Chains A and B, each alone.
Chain A
Amino acid sequence: MSKFSKKRGKATPAISTASLPDIIFMLLFFFMVVTVMRESELMVRVIVPQATELTKLEQKSLVNYIYIGRPTDKYQKVYGTSPRIQLGDKFANIADIPIFLEQHKTTVPEAMHGRIMTSLRVDGAVTMGIVQDVKTKLRKSGQLKVNYSARPRASR
């Protein structure tokens, strides 16, 4: 009898927080794993249009990105306001696209080369001229799988 009452009296210590770091670390590792750091700073303003017939892009390593848009305020003094192409982290011309594609290709295993896709992230307010030129260059470079990046829209 005395045994029980003794135990009960002692059973109100502070809750141990020793496992708190473990829990936090677990969360931390989860977020570290799912985080994708933006590899390139955007130098052009890109607000992609909305669309409904969308396909999800699988396997990020097989995708290269071409940004087309007007330079952001920071760069407008030097580069003006007409639409520009951004490849990686710098402004580029149409002629730089084949080299850019080749550089990306070297990071992909040879067997996967046929599945490389180019994601065109184009600002909605840009005219088709520059997009057409990029498309022509992509066709000439043999990069035919293209994805027009767009935001989902519920319905028209």
Chain B
Amino acid sequence: MAKNSSRSRMANEINASSMADIAFLLLIFFLVTTTIDVDKGILVKLPPWSDEKPDIQKLATRNVFSVLVNANNQLLVRGEPATLDDLRERAKEFIINPSKREDLAERPTKAIISLKNDRGTNYETYLEVYNELMGAYNELWDEEARKTHGVPYSEDLPFAWRKDIKGKIPMVLSEAESTSFGEEN
């Protein structure tokens, strides 16, 4: 009889005070496992593959900015050794050619950057070089956007503006078949 009465009393109300504990436990689990990481990176568009050998175009040497990276991660820019630090400035000067020098690009639209690496080149070095060349164009686009529209360049600009800017300073970065002198590991 006594048992019966206690059971009926228990059925009155479920004790919900542990609910908070359970919810806390779950909360902490999700707090720990959450990674709010946004994936970022350098966006590139690879050229489509074609089995035919590309036509060898005669390009005036003044319009080509060749960057070679060897297996020892050393840079050769337009035939002479260079460092990563001044690559961006040199690329910018080459594209814009402010002082109308004879050995730099005729016009920004004619400028071609040619990047060639070895199979033994470090990926980190390669990406840094790519980053600098990309940075050169980004800075030029930014300058152009500020000059013509008075705003810094960003992907939020109207499409027509971006198209216009990229039409004036098109990014032409061609990657040659990599050499295989260096050791891969």
Partners in one complex: yes
Q: Does A150 contact B (CB under 8 A)?
A: yes
- The answer to whether A37 touches B20, judged by C-beta atoms less than 8 angstroms apart, is no
A56 to B154 alpha-carbon distance, docked (Å) = 12
Interface-side segment among B4-12, B90-98, B102-110, B122-130: B122-130
At the interface, yes or no: B35 with Cβ under 8 Å from chain A? yes
What is the 8 Å Cβ interface bit string for chain A, positions 130-156, against chain B (1 contact, 0 not)? 111001101110101111111110001
Asked whether, in the complex, the Cβ of A124 is within 8 Å of the Cβ of B33, the reply is no
Q: Is B41 an interface residue (CB 8 A)?
A: yes
In the assembled complex, the Cα of A130 lies from the Cα of B47 at a distance in Å of 18
Q: Which residues of chain A are within 8 angstroms of B122 by Cβ–Cβ distance?
A: 124-128
Instruction: Count chain A residues whose beta carbon lies closer than 8 angstroms to a beta carbon of B.
Output: 57
B182 smallest CB distance to A (angstroms): 7
Is residue B120 contacting chain A, with contact meaning CB distance below 8 A? yes
Decide if A78 is an interface residue (CB 8 Å cutoff).
Answer: no
Interface hits, B11-66 → A, CB 8 Å: 16-17, 19-20, 23-24, 26-27, 30-31, 33-36, 38-49
Contacts A52-B135, A123-B123, A127-B120 given; does A144 touch B45 at CB 8 Å: yes
Residue of B nearest to A151 (CB): B40
Q: How many A-B residue pairs have CB under 8 A?
A: 156
CB nearest to A133 among chain B residues: B119
Cβ of A140: which chain B residues have Cβ within 8 Å of it? 49
Contact indicator A130/B184 (Cβ below 8 Å): yes
Main secondary structure of the interface of A (DSSP, over half): mixed
* Chain A residues proximal to chain B, CB less than 8 Å: 17-18, 20-21, 24-25, 27-28, 31-32, 34-38, 48-49, 51-57, 60, 63, 82-83, 119-120, 122-132, 135-136, 138-140, 142, 144-152, 156
Other contacts beyond A52-B131, A127-B120: 7, CB < 8 A: A35-B33, A51-B41, A52-B135, A53-B131, A129-B180, A136-B49, A146-B45
22 A-B pairs in the complex with CB atoms less than 8 angstroms apart: A20-B20, A21-B20, A28-B30, A31-B30, A31-B34, A36-B34, A51-B41, A55-B40, A57-B39, A127-B71, A127-B121, A127-B183, A127-B185, A128-B122, A128-B126, A129-B180, A132-B117, A135-B46, A142-B48, A144-B46, A145-B46, A150-B40
